[in-house]
Structure 1
């Protein structure tokens, strides 16, 4: 990346409350949309959302966290209010990692903490190892910093093929207007796809994840984003240990009892994927790693943020303080 990305502040009705700001960061393919809470002089914290979600996933959590921090949540490319990739260009895992660097470079952050959920945790984990001097603390909400390959090595080529085929299908299908749905219908469809969010949580996500069209709502996200597996880097235990030893961050992993890895991965119905990963983190990071289990589902930070806000706040406030720009 050459130069510093431009930050342009948008004037939105919500900004009048003084609770948060909406901004756009210019990038070569368009912009990355971000949402910021607190004074820019506070300790910097970047928040990374899950697959096909957006920054509104943190709307209920951040107001419960300690003041004195500058919380910034970013929409990944192709998500929320951020620009989509150009036609003919696939989405790759490293793209999302580079989005993090673009945002913090624009904000002039040299060192910061991360609050991450689901796919955002995998991105944050890789970033913490690639740029170890930049990440002070990494908080993983029902996520893992890397995904062990387990049996997935047998499926990698299939995932990559499906990604390419899906992109080609989207591009070669004759243009038709996007599907417009009334709010009740969109909520019903969302419940079938992702029942853990809940109706209230889904309404919060749709405030940013959909736009109004004549007759109803249309989803904002890029239609080429279909399967998360096509944008994840699966790694072996040996590579995991090699990578995680690079990070300088202190890591807090909060695992929900009815979370993502219990329900949606066939290879982990018995929880061994999480157990193996936690064991590796303990052996590599020692006292820099903390693991907590809470009762709830994958979206506990959105559905019941009071359950996790205290432990997140305590973790952020522990240790030496960071300035907004070091």
Structure 2
């Protein structure tokens, strides 16, 4: 299950727990923090980050978001604003007053929240196959809240289901995310753990429970409209099944300094087409230096 990468692993101890991370590049150079997607982990950037680091002048940190990978599980409920607050705490722990943010899927939504709400901390933004958070119509509010409340009894947590083997995890990721075996292995290698002779996913099972509330599309677009830093959006070509083409076009129009490119590959294009993604991001970062 080897995934080619050269990185330094580190752990940040925060008041609520630990955040694990992988680091490439030059300490003290231009900081770049990468946030992965839902149920992924920092290894999501194991192909992209070394290519970016080869361009020089970057200090790249890819974190396991809380509840994912080797990071601690949160004591309370998960939400993208909550995850954004954790990312901000990571920046503070590193002493990074400003950073470039790269986010994939859910991580892009988190990065957009930060770029909009604390613009003094974000100098540039790169979004990979997502722009903003998931949204839902107003009339879905009560059914969604009901589903959340009935699935999450207080004081109880889901019991992780064992995997037959790490290879079984690779097959599952291939089926669910349309990844090839090598790209799926990148995520699974960091995403599973063996306990008592059985294999389990490392992520907190509560991450799979229904969210209580989604923003309305108008709120998502209001967040995007508040982003003032240079922004690069890389989208899969052909579009992945996670993208609503009409909504995405409206969202792109919200960001004043947006560059938009399509790259061959699926939703995890930064794994499957890392060379093209790295070239596009390096060019963008050169323009925003």
TM-score normalized with structure 1 length: 0.79
Q: How does 1:267-278 map to 2 (within 5 A)?
A: 268=244, 271-278=245-252
Q: How does 1:117-132 map to 2 (within 5 A)?
A: 117-132=104-119
Unaligned runs of 5+ in 2: none
Structure 1 vs Structure 2 CA RMSD: 2.6
CA contact (8 A) 1:45 1:113 kept: yes
Deviation digits for residues 169-222 of structure 1, max 9, x if unmatched? 99277xx67414212322223333x23222111111111111123544211000
Alignment of 1:279 with 2:253, yes or no, is yes
Aligned position for 1:213: 195
Unaligned runs of 5+ in 1: 1-13, 321-326
What is the aligned residue count? 285
Deviation larger for 272-281 or 35-44: 272-281
Query: Of the two, which has the highest radius of gyration?
Result: 1
Alignment of 1:315 with 2:284, yes or no, is yes
User: Judging changes above 3 Å, is the alpha-carbon distance between structure 1 residues 113 and 215 closer, same or farther for their aligned structure 2 residues?
Assistant: same
Deviation digits for residues 269-292 of structure 1, max 9, x if unmatched? xx21211212233xxx1xx21111
Aligned position for 1:3: none
SS at structure 2 position matched to 1:297? coil
Q: CA deviation at 1:293?
A: 1.4
CA contact (8 A) 1:300 1:307 kept: no
Alignment of 1:166 with 2:148, yes or no, is no
Picking from 251, 271, 275, the partner of 1:306 is: 275
Aligned position for 2:10: 23
TM-score normalized with structure 2 length: 0.89
Aligned position for 2:174: 191
Aligned position for 1:154: 139
CA contact (8 A) 1:181 1:215 kept: no
Partner Cα separation in structure 2 for residue 163 and residue 67 of structure 1: 46
CA contact (8 A) 1:146 1:240 kept: yes
Q: CA deviation at 1:29?
A: 2.6
User: Judging changes above 3 Å, is the alpha-carbon distance between structure 1 residues 141 and 241 closer, same or farther for their aligned structure 2 residues?
Assistant: closer
